[in-house]
Amino acid sequence: MITPVNKSVFDLNKEQISEIESRMRSRGLGEDESLMEVCERDRETLQELKVTYEQVASKLEELIKKSNLSETISDEKYEYKMTAYFGYNFCPFSDRESVKTYVNHRWDYSDDHEWDICGNEPTRYTIKRLDTGDTFTFSGLLPHLIRDHSILLDRKPDHYIDPTKLVRILELG
């Protein structure tokens, strides 16, 4: 089955949700957890906090831009650290066949080839709020997962961040 890229988890049918849910197991979704239950709970929390997915994703991207691979950087509010990894961290909504072809044969295609892949970011960021000491580590793919798919689950080690804590760290709402 081809999974639709750039769709919110709330716009998928049951078969697509099941496929995404199985892919999310390696991203922090527990074996006995329902992806939709987790996402519904997060959506309700963000609504109560009067914060949108777009606001959270935009703030994370703003902080990512301040990070530097070679050093830890601080400003008046945050400390930023970036770690890059070799390999791939594809979005779970990416078409699996496109991912396999991209990984194994991308050099066989012209630069303008259309890939059915909606995110690949093998970089991790750690942001520490200096006044509270709250720290949040996440993959560079997380803003995409939040904005385009309404998902707050991320790759290991943190897997998931409570939206209330995230909003507090980012000073939103």
Full pLDDT tens readout for the chain, 173 residues: 455 566 899 999 999 898 888 888 877 788 888 999 999 999 999 999 999 999 999 999 898 888 766 678 888 999 988 887 776 667 777 766 665 565 555 555 555 545 445 665 678 888 999 999 999 888 888 888 898 889 887 655 455 678 898 999 999 97
Distances (CA, A) of 107 to 41, 57, 103, 111, 148: 42, 31, 9, 9, 28
Whether the predicted model's global pTM rises above the 0.85 cut: no
Cβ-contact 155, 25 below 8 angstroms: no
Three-state secondary structure call for residue 163: helix
Backbone angles phi, psi at 49, to 5 degrees: -80, -5
Give phi and psi for 100, each to the nearest 5: -60, -45
pLDDT at 1: 47
Q: Computed from CA positions of residues 8, 9, 13, 17, in that sequence, does the dihedral angle turn out positive or negative?
A: positive
